[in-house]
Amino acid sequence: MSESTSSMFKGIGTGVLTGVIVGMASSLLVSGNKKSKKKISKMIDSFENKLESVQDMFK
């Protein structure tokens, strides 16, 4: 039971983080800033770091 619960929380965390990143990236693309590519790249890097920390937390 605990393994399925852990798996469920990993999925929820991943979904929430993905939604936040997609929302922020799309708002930057719509605004049309010249620095948006750099900001999106930084957001993706931070997303990867957060995802790894969430995965490590549930190991």
Where are the chain's structural domains? Answer: 2-57
Would the pTM count as exceeding 0.75? Answer: no
Percentage of the chain modeled with pLDDT above 90: 0
Residue-wise pLDDT for 14-37, tens only, equals 788 788 878 877 777 777 666 777
Given a cut of 60, is residue 1 above it in pLDDT? no
Q: Is pLDDT at 49 greater than 80 in this prediction?
A: yes
Check residue 59 and give its pLDDT: 65
C-alpha 10/C-alpha 28 separation (Å) is: 27
